[in-house]
Amino acid sequence: MNGEPKTVIEVEDLVTHYGGRKILDGVSMNVTEGEIMVIMGGSGSGKSTLLRYMMALERQTSGTIKLLDQDIGKLNQQEMFGLRKKIGVAFQGGALFSSMTVGENIMLPLYEHAHLDMMTMEIMARMKLEVVDLAGFEDLMPAELSGGMIKRAAFARAVIMDPKLLFCDEPSAGLDPVVASALDDLILKLRDALQMTVVVVTHELDSVFKIADRVTVLDRGHILFIGTVEELRNNKSERIQNLLNRRPEDETIDPDEYLRRLTGEEETGGDATL
Amino acid sequence: MKNVGNGITDYTEKIGRQTIAGVEEIGNGGFLLLESFYWLFVGPKLKQPVRFGAVIAQMMEIGINAIPLIAMMAGTIGAMMAMQSIYMLRIFGAESQVTYGVAFSVVREFAPLITGILVAGRSGSALAARLGTMKISQEIDALKVMGINPVRYLVVPALLGMVVMVPALTIFNMMVGMLCAGLYINADLGISLAAYSEQVIDILSVGDVIHGVGKSVLFAVLIALIGVINGASVTGGAEGVGKVTTRAVVQAISAIIVTDMLFAFMATR
């Protein structure tokens, strides 16, 4: 042991397309055990796409993604099933099942994978609800919860199996600053309490500065920056500074391209099929 | 002229794309059916069984909750069949033969067809809307990341529920339809219910009932697969859910009618 942190997520030269359009172009990054890695970038930069590939919701055709030393492109169905038990995901909108109570939502992974008796599962669900400050809400339906409570319940479900990796997609999107800040505290608390590695996609700068150990900045499908928060603040790149200072970038448009957009003509031989 | 040429090209291209999309959907349906069988039979060995409770819940929703509607429609159609048959046979003075027309029509044709159409409108649309809503709210993604296969968890229970309950509803439809037809015939022609029942039993063979129930199984599979494929193809939020729901109902009813015709053609050769 040399004390160097172990890499638990490794993305190597990932290229993805949507239709004919390239979304991620040669993305390489890694996340080490126990850290909170924040992926940020403007709208359309490819951060949510990157997260979907890291969560193995999409299978890559180019490049490699390794989670917990397993190349997800080479796993068979059963191996992927085993890996998924070690991953928790808190989706942007919570993605709680509307036909189930909060408690049933949280117990679902246990019910499907852990084969425990109902009493034990209920106790475990209540414990996780307590961690996210939702004790006593297990019998409510998701429709009866506020936006912030839905996200916290989603966190409880994401960590019910004590995963090694936690992925969070825009956890504070659509929330007021106070609730958003409380969610940031929750992410830190979960990481420390459950010793997980956390990957958060967000464009909320306050969250980035509060929770990130390291930050990856994506721009139009490319990695623009990877480093600590301090390094991010001190980075002199114009694009990084624009992002940090919320300055819109001047977009230079080719006059021919502009004319094509106006007339609705497609570029001959182009791949803009969408 | 150039615009006319472009119009023809666009139209041809559109037909081509829709044809390819149609073939792709049929392929998806076949694959989905195979995957459903896989989870049904291999799932338990992988410790990922199809939940019995989910199947029962689907059977309740598709079958038990549809009983009042099926009873009402079956009764109405049975009585209507009796009225039309008596009206037509009266031309030849052969009203007493009305049981022939009613029994064959209801058991071989109307019971499975009407049941299929009602279930497509009621449960096929609900299935498409449910899956569509789950997809746009990322609930399907949530299942996947939890290691829960959506086909095993959502599709197989719905498919099993349909395959069990649509034939059961068809048999129920046959009984209610025949009963209501008998009541009308009794009132109009004075043929007693006992005599009517005896005639029905004499006329119908087990093969006639199997013909009706057999095609209802096909209808059940079609309704489930079309509902799932449409629900899974949703894009664009709430409006998209509305579109796929309508599309699922239209496609399912069309598929049922075409299948019914093909089934009738092959079964009567």
Residue A258 lies in a domain: no
pLDDT tens digit sequence for B12-69? 888 998 899 888 888 988 999 999 999 999 999 988 899 999 999 999 999 999 999 9
Q: What is the average pLDDT value for chain B, to the nearest integer?
A: 93
Question: What is the gyration radius of the CA atoms in chain A, in angstroms?
Answer: 20
Distances (CA, A) of A166 to A37, A129, A143, A229, B136: 10, 17, 25, 20, 22
φ, ψ (nearest 5 deg) of residue A270? -80, 175
Q: Which residues of A touch B142 (CB under 8 A)?
A: 89, 91, 95, 97
Residue A270, pLDDT score: 37
φ, ψ (nearest 5 deg) of residue A251? -95, 120
Yes or no: say if A191 and A38 are a contact pair by the CB < 8 Å rule.
Answer: no
Helix %, strand %, coil % for chain B, to 5? 90, 0, 10
Residue A112 lies in a domain: no
Residue A186 lies in a domain: no
Yes or no: say if B178 and B102 are a contact pair by the CB < 8 Å rule.
Answer: yes
Number of helices (H), then strands (E), belonging to chain A: the values are: 10, 10
Domain count, chain A: 1
Residue A264 lies in a domain: no
pLDDT tens digit sequence for A220-270? 889 999 999 999 999 888 888 888 887 776 666 667 767 776 776 554 433
**Of A95, A108, A115, Cβ closest to residue B138:** A95
Residue A191 lies in a domain: no
Yes or no: say if B224 and B234 are a contact pair by the CB < 8 Å rule.
Answer: no
φ, ψ (nearest 5 deg) of residue B161? -55, -45
Q: Among A112, A116, A165, A170, which would you mutate to test the B interface (most chain B Cβ atoms within 10 Å of its Cβ)?
A: A112
Q: Is the Cβ of B148 closer than 8 Å to some Cβ of chain A?
A: yes
Helical spans, DSSP H, in B42-155: 52-62, 67-92, 98-104, 111-119, 125-136, 139-145, 150
Closest residue, chain B, to A154 (C-alpha): B142
φ, ψ (nearest 5 deg) of residue B131? -65, -40
The yes-or-no verdict on residue A123 having pLDDT over 70 is yes
How large is the average pLDDT for residues B185-203?
A: 95
Give B2's pLDDT tier (boundaries 50, 70, 90). Answer: low
pLDDT tens digit sequence for B225-248? 999 999 999 988 889 999 999 999
Residue A70 lies in a domain: yes
Residue B9, pLDDT score: 85
Residue A203 lies in a domain: yes
**Beta bridge partners of residue B44, listed in sequence order:** none
- How far apart (Å, rounded) are the C-alpha atoms in residues B115 and B174? 10
ipTM, two decimals, is 0.84
pTM of structure: 0.85
Percent of chain B with pLDDT over 90: 83
Percent of chain B with pLDDT over 70: 99
Domain spans of chain B? 2-267
- A66: domain CATH number? 3.40.50.300
Yes or no: say if B160 and A120 are a contact pair by the CB < 8 Å rule.
Answer: no
Closest residue, chain A, to B145 (C-alpha): A84
Distance from CA of A149 to the nearest CA of B (A): 16
Give B4's pLDDT tier (boundaries 50, 70, 90). Answer: confident
Q: What is the average pLDDT value for chain A, to the nearest integer?
A: 87
Q: Which domain holds residue A205?
A: 1-86+165-172+196-249
**How many CB pairs lie under 8 A apart between chains A and B?**
50
pLDDT tens digit sequence for B56-74? 999 999 999 999 999 999 9
Distance from CA of B110 to the nearest CA of A (A): 35
Q: How many CB atoms lie within 10 A of CB B231?
A: 29
A269 CB-contact burial (10 Å; exposed 0-12 / middle 13-18 / buried 19+): exposed
- How far apart (Å, rounded) are the C-alpha atoms in residues A93 and A91? 6
How large is the average pLDDT for residues B216-233?
A: 96
Residue A146 lies in a domain: no
The yes-or-no verdict on residue A90 having pLDDT over 50 is yes
Q: How many CB atoms lie within 10 A of CB B157?
A: 22
Residue A136, pLDDT score: 92
Distance from CA of B146 to the nearest CA of A (A): 6
How large is the average pLDDT for residues A145-171?
A: 93
Question: H-helix or E-strand containing B120?
Answer: none
Residue B42, pLDDT score: 92
- How far apart (Å, rounded) are the C-alpha atoms in residues B33 and B13? 30
Total residues belonging to chain B = 269
pLDDT tens digit sequence for B82-132? 999 999 999 999 988 999 999 999 999 999 999 999 999 999 999 999 999
- How far apart (Å, rounded) are the C-alpha atoms in residues B193 and B179? 9
- How far apart (Å, rounded) are the C-alpha atoms in residues A76 and A62? 18
Give A273's pLDDT tier (boundaries 50, 70, 90). Answer: very low
- How far apart (Å, rounded) are the C-alpha atoms in residues A151 and A172? 8
Yes or no: say if A86 and A69 are a contact pair by the CB < 8 Å rule.
Answer: no
> What is residue B202's DSSP assignment?
H
Residue A162, pLDDT score: 92
Please indicate whether, in this complex, the C-beta atoms of A93 and B142 are within 8 angstroms of each other.
Answer: no
Residue A269, pLDDT score: 39
- How far apart (Å, rounded) are the C-alpha atoms in residues B166 and B70? 11
Please indicate whether, in this complex, the C-beta atoms of A97 and B48 are within 8 angstroms of each other.
Answer: no
Helix %, strand %, coil % for chain A, to 5? 40, 25, 40
